[in-house]
Each structure stands twice: as structure tokens, then as C-alpha cells.
Structure 1
Amino acid sequence: MSRLQGSKDFWIGALRTEGPAFAAAVAEAPPETPVLSCPGWTVNDLTLHLAGIYHWVCSFAGSGETSAPPARPQPPEVAPGLSSLQFWQQGYDKLLTLFDGLDPEAPAWNWAPQPKRAGFWPRRMAHETAVHRWDAQLAIGAGDPIEAKLAADGVSEVLDTWLPSGRGRVPGGQWHGVVQLASTDADQQWFLRLRGEGVALLDTATIFDHDDHHARAQASGTASDLLLALWGRVSFETLDVTGDCALLDGLRTR
């Protein structure tokens, strides 16, 4: 089943680790360095993308409003004279200041099926930063794994937030059956029932019904590799996979 791996403090702690690691990788790479895990992007593109998200979230997450904010500018509006990394740093500092004083139960818009609460955003930004830190490090020939506890919660976020919101790589579709994911280093497993247009994250103790619930596909690996595979950063072949491997495509967000 899915379970949150932490609280607001946990996700802010992850941001305080992943943010400086992202900045260090960006500082080491020329701006036009290709980001191999994001085809068509450079390090400069990646930095502006993450900075733009930070500035956008800061514009509404603490407002107490649950109505949708204006769309995020793409590309973001950068003040003259600022480098992309300086713009990122501004957004990162603003984000941490906002989150430090944020009541997770306060009203705040989000795009997910969860309640419209501010606690959505520290979690979302921790995972956005962790995956893009991996992208930035890969651009300089590194790419350290995402910490196991954070990565396990990132897997849960894909399964309980992205997919139920219709944000899979291929919306809707042709996949039917149960998929089991298991982390080898975070002592956690997940069962998903794919039903064409729908997806359900299952608690095997209470939710399995009269349908055949035996997993048609199983994938196991470190929590980091599971998360990176769901985000299209590494192939599912990186994992130990058995059964109908085609079902795994129904879990991809990218």
C-alpha cells in the first residue's frame, strides 16, 4: 500500500539537501550542456524550469486560496542581469522561507485529487527537486541515487497523485491488471490495479475484491531506481521485472 514517508519537516529537510546538490551540479556544467535524461534540454533550460516552478508555487501556496492560480509562465520571467542559477537561488530561498512558516492544513490549491491543503506543496517540491538534481548530476557524469526513504515516498506520490490525476505518460488506455512494485532497500511494496481509464492504489489487506488480484507484472529494485523508472529517467530493464512487462508502461509519468 501507499504511505507517506514523512511530514512537512521531512520534505523541507529533503529540499535542504537536494537543493544545494542541484546548485552544485549546475555550477559545474556549462549552461549549454545537454541534459541526457531530458532530451532537448540544456542545463540552463533545466535550471530555469525548476526556478520557474519555485517562483510560481511561492506566488500562491501561502495565500489561503483554493482557486487555481494563473498559469505558470513558460519560459519564466527573469530579471535582467540575473543568471539562471541566481534566479533559481532566489526561488529556492523564497520557497524555503515560505515552507518554514506554512501550516500544512491551511487551504491551498493543487491539481491533484487530494484535499486542497498547503501540505501538498512541500512534498511536491521535494520530489521535483530530487529528480531534477539527479538530472543535473547526470549532465556532469554523476547522478547519485535518491535517498531511499525520500524515493519511496516519491514512488507513492506517482501512484497516489500523478496517475489518479490523469498525468500518466499515455493518458487512459489499454492496460488491465495488477502490478506489484517492491523496493529492496525501503521495505515497501505497492499494488496497482489498472483498469483501462482508471488506476487504483491498493491496500491488499482491505481493498482486493472478487476479481483476480494476482499481479500480472512485478518489478523490484531500489526505491531510487523505481522512482527514476516511473519518471522515465531509467529503463524498467534496470529493475528485476517478471510477468507482463507492458503493464509497467501504464505507470510511467514521463
Structure 2
Amino acid sequence: MRKTTVQLEPMSYAMTEEMKTLRTNILFCGNDKKVITVTSCVMGEGKTKISIQLATSLVELKKRVLLIDADLRKSVMTSRLKATGVDKGLTHFLSGQCSLADVVLATNIPGFHVIFSGPYAPNPTELLAGERFKKTLDYLKSLYDYIIIDAAPLGMVVDAAIIAEHSDGAIMVMESGSVKYKLAQNVKEKLEGAGCPILGAVLNKVDRKKTGNYYGKYYGKYYGKHYEADKKIDTANSEYSNVSEAELGRQIKENLKKR
């Protein structure tokens, strides 16, 4: 299996706790909620950041997670993760230019794999609506505990609704004090129209000076000093190994030969 090196942005203690809450809520939704689409109403609400943080938070529980960058119109995933050695992505695969094994990348974080979007395609809606994408998701569900899909803003283009049709649930990311109520309702209705249950909403970029920061100040005072030592994902003691990464790559290649 091909590999890439990624760098995660540090999170504050309060943000880490909020992400654990989101992760716990998803776990309580049931083990049948494996493919989760993350979308927003408009650009700049932080959906990509939430997708990455949710995926890596699940990895901390020793889950095998695949993060798919399906924002084929204006992706920022590669730069956000500072990924190296990425030359092929989802658009290459969906357009038949390469195999699945070429785009599923193992990372330096054991158990965390990524499919990047690839270069801009003139027909992103058609690529995502094709049978190739649906069949691939069905196959990948047998290999991973969770598949997190970062989709384009549903308030601007229809791509996320198409992806949601093949997902087990969706998460809406909304910037606090920015999105109009009617637009948020429209996005919600589009997801429901696609037959995809909404697992929840993330209110992002909250101004804690206005809402109060008691939680962060009080608990951070006592637990913050321990957080710095524990926040990194432990790769040395992980249950995942290079053998399991190689085995996954072998399974993908063998499966593709059968098709």
C-alpha cells in the first residue's frame, strides 16, 4: 500500500473535549453508521477541519478509519494535512485513470488512511453519481470501521446530496452567527430528501468571549497541563502494524482483479 506523511493541527483542550463528545454521540448512533458525510452550507465554515478531527478522534479508539476528500471543486485537504507524495486522487480513480490501490494512502498515523480529491474535474457531479463511486463505498465498508467523507458545501452545489444517498448518516457544520436560518433549513431538507439521516450539527467558530468560556478556564486550569502530554496519537503502542497495512493493500488489489 502506498503511504503519505500527514501533520495534524494541534487542538486546544476545550476543542478536544468537544470532539470527543461528537465522537461519542456518533458511536451511540449504532455500529451500522459507518459511512458519514460531513458538509456545510457555504464555504469557510470549517467542515474539512471537523472531518479531519473526527476521523483522527475515532482512530484514537483503535478504529480503522478512511477519510475521503470528496470536495472535488475546491479541496483544501492536502494543504490542511500537509500531505507529502500525493500524485493521484479520487477524480483520477472515478474517471478510470487509475486503480483504487493507487489512491488509498496509508499515513504515518496507524489505522488512518486517506483518499485525496485529486485535480479539479469539469464534471464532479457526474463522477460522484456514477456506479463506480457507489460500488467502491460498498466495498470499502467491509474494510474500515468508519469512512468519513468531506463533501462540498450543500448550500452551494448538489454534490453532498449525491454522496449522502450512499451514506449512513450526515453531519452539518455551521459557522456560528454566519449562516441564515433558511439556508440551513434548505441544506437539512436536501439531506433528508436524499434519504440520509442527520446525525447532528456542529456549531463551529463560536466566539467564547461572547458565550462565556467557564468550561475552558475552569477545567483547563486543572487538566490542561496533562493534556499536552496525552494529546498526540500513540503510534508506538498501536495495535496496527505494517503487516495489516500491507494486507489491506493486497485485499484491494485482489478485489479489483476480480471485477
TM range (shorter): under 0.3
TM-score normalised by structure 2 residue count: 0.25
TM-score, L = length of structure 1: 0.26
Higher RCO (CA-CA < 8 Å; seq separation 6+): 2
